[in-house]
Amino acid sequence: MTTTFSGFPEELFDFLRDLRGNNNRDWFNANKERYREVVVNPVSDFISAMAPKLEKISKHYIADPRANGGSMFRIYRDTRFAKDKRPYKTNVGCQFRHQAGKDAHAPGFYVHLEPDHIFFGGGVWTPPGPVLSKVREAIVEKPDEWQRIVKNKTFKTRFGELKGDRLKRPPRGFDADHPLLEDLKCKSFIVMQEEFEPLATNKDFTREVERAFKAASPLMAFVTKALELPY
């Protein structure tokens, strides 16, 4: 069943702005019903609306609208080992990850919403060493295919360069003189389209996200297959 989605309510961003200035449990608990109404429910509707669009790109990537255990990230921060003890995230995120993935480091399409800044795209973000090695090995084994993806004019116009941190030195086990060394240094293989808040409240938001996901699809296919997963 296709869910009609006409854009996120402006109240979602109002809530996140208020949360920035009141990032404590007392305030959040007093506003929990507001959170469900203007954040959780619209995000769930968005995920449902993206499900049929995502299935056309890859049936192996899942759009799960459940508030817990689905594509929506929890708003609660893990503060156990963090210096920053604020209990809540002041952004909203959802990841449409591969059916074989179990966490945020699995390959996936992603949407991020915060006041004045939104972005969406796909890839694999700060994965563990064995995953990074498989992607790097695939780049070495298929350099022409890789360059066709990242140098594609439409791809570069929409996303620019690969996002994320890079190693300062060549990765262990890879040729320091390799012509694609800068790409091999990547700690993540991910691209994002950067936009502003008003787009997310527009009725055409799902269409624009779909376009970005389609543009990211060659990269997603490359990474997915490098991990020996179906795309």
For residue 79, name the pLDDT band (cuts at 50, 70, 90): confident
pLDDT value, residue 84: 87
∠ CA 207-12-109, nearest 5°, is 40
pLDDT at position 105: 78
Per-residue pLDDT band at 2 (split at 50, 70, 90)? low
Q: What mean pLDDT is predicted for residues 16-42?
A: 97
User: Of 207, 212, 222, whose CA–CA distance to 158 is shortest?
Assistant: 212
Torsion of CA 194, 198, 204, 210, to 10 degrees: 20
| Phi, psi dihedrals of residue 206, rounded to the nearest 5° | -60, -35
Of 192, 187, 179, 195, nearest to 108 by C-alpha is: 192
Task: Return the closest-CA partner of residue 120 out of 100, 101, 94.
Answer: 94
pLDDT in tens, 88-105: 999 999 999 999 987 777
**Do the beta carbons of residue 114 and residue 175 sit within 8 Å?**
no
- Region 56-72 average pLDDT: 95
Distance, in Å, from the CA atom of 16 to the CA atom of 44, rounded to the nearest integer, reads 17
Structural domains of the chain, ranges and CATH numbers in brackets: 10-226 (3.30.930.20)
State the Rg of the chain over Cα. 18
Report the chain's mean pLDDT, rounded to a whole number: 95
Would the pLDDT of 1 be above 70?
Answer: no
Q: What is the pLDDT of residue 3?
A: 63
Asked if residue 56 lies in contact with residue 125, where contact means CB atoms within 8 angstroms, the answer is: no
At residue 75, φ and ψ (nearest 5 deg) are: -85, -10
**pLDDT digit string (tens) for 150-193?**
999 999 999 999 999 999 999 999 999 999 999 999 999 999 99
